[in-house]
Amino acid sequence: MNTKAIIEVNPQLPYSVEEAINRLRINVSFFGSDINKIMVVSSEPNEGKSFVAMNLWKQMAGAKEQSILVDADMRKSVMVQSYKISREDGKELWGLTHYLSDNKKLEDCVLTTDLEYGDILPNANNIVNPSLLLESSRFKGLLDLLSEKYRYVILDVPPLGLVSDGERIGHLCDGAILTVRGGVTPKSVVRNSIAQLERAGCPLLGIVLNRVGAGSGRYYGKYYGRYYGSKYYTDKYYSDKK
């Protein structure tokens, strides 16, 4: 039996942001049942990967799609601290690195949540070099196992521009959502990330243009969807409230 997690959830997001994530969820669902393991990635830190991954997972679970959020940023994960994740039974929190390197059982690492259809596999112990773990058969086996059990496996991963983890993980995923910090990340850097995903053989499912105008205290952004190169959808959302 999995234990339940205590998570301090985000304050309620503005309706327009909820709606943008909802559109992203619906567009991902249009890709069909082959798209199951999805990584949320960016070129640089602070572009909103974890924000998008967490909210996409929440909405998928809310739509009664069995979903798991995997914190695969094993170098510099902040999810446990940001959302103050702990175990309801008070025991030590174990996560992805414990499963991969300490041979812990999966049911001791995966936690249920208040969302009936949403589980999480946190990362409770950062490590300096996860490359070998990501190349291990245990990691690939884990993704296979999760994709049998869950309709969506959402992976929050390190930035593509810094380390090769994202490419390694992308190679094992069915697709990627690229988060881009609007007005900050140069186009050349974004192009480079798209080329990296292509090299990894990971189809680009969509681009989220995020945090546009965040400096002025607004939630503001655009969502673009791409399917193997052709743009199929654009939208714009913003709110004055934070």
In the list 219, 223, 225, 237, the residue contacting ligand ADP (rule: CB under 6 A) is 219
How far apart are CB 212 and ligand ADP at their closest, in Å?
8
In the list 39, 120, 169, 214, the residue contacting ligand ADP (rule: CB under 6 A) is 214
For Mg ion, what does the binding mask look like between residues 30 and 69, x meaning CB under 5 A?
-------------------xx-------------------
Point out which span in 47-55, 141-149, 163-171, 183-191 binds ligand ADP (CB under 6 A). Answer: 47-55
Neighbour tally for 165: CB within 10 Å: 22
Can you tell me which residue has the tokens 């979903």? 67
How far apart are CB 82 and ligand ADP at their closest, in Å?
7
Residues comprising the chain, all counted: 242
Q: Tell me: does residue 179 bind Mg ion (CB under 5 A).
A: no
Phi, psi dihedrals of residue 193, rounded to the nearest 5°: -65, -40
Q: Are 7 and 82 in contact (CB under 8 A)?
A: no
3-class DSSP state of 222: strand
Closer by beta carbon to Mg ion, 43 or else 50:
50
Residues between 183 and 212 with contacts to ligand ADP, criterion CB under 6 A: 210-211
From residue 70, alpha-carbon distances to 21, 57, 160, 233 in Å are 18, 10, 17, 27
In the list 36, 43, 51, 223, the residue contacting ligand ADP (rule: CB under 6 A) is 51
Q: Tell me: does residue 217 bind ligand ADP (CB under 6 A).
A: no
For ligand ADP, what does the binding mask look like between residues 17 and 46, x meaning CB under 6 A?
-------------------------x--xx
| Burial (Cβ within 10 Å: 0-12, 13-18, ≥19) of residue 160 | buried
Q: Are 13 and 149 in contact (CB under 8 A)?
A: no
CA distance 113 to 198: 34
Give the CB-nearest residue to Mg ion: 50
In the list 27, 43, 50, 193, the residue contacting ligand ADP (rule: CB under 6 A) is 50
Q: What is the DSSP letter of 73?
A: -
3-class DSSP state of 157: coil
How far apart are CB 52 and Mg ion at their closest, in Å?
10
Q: Are 72 and 95 in contact (CB under 8 A)?
A: no
Report the interface residues with ligand ADP, using CB under 6 A: 42, 45-51, 210-211, 214, 219, 221
Report the interface residues with Mg ion, using CB under 5 A: 49-50
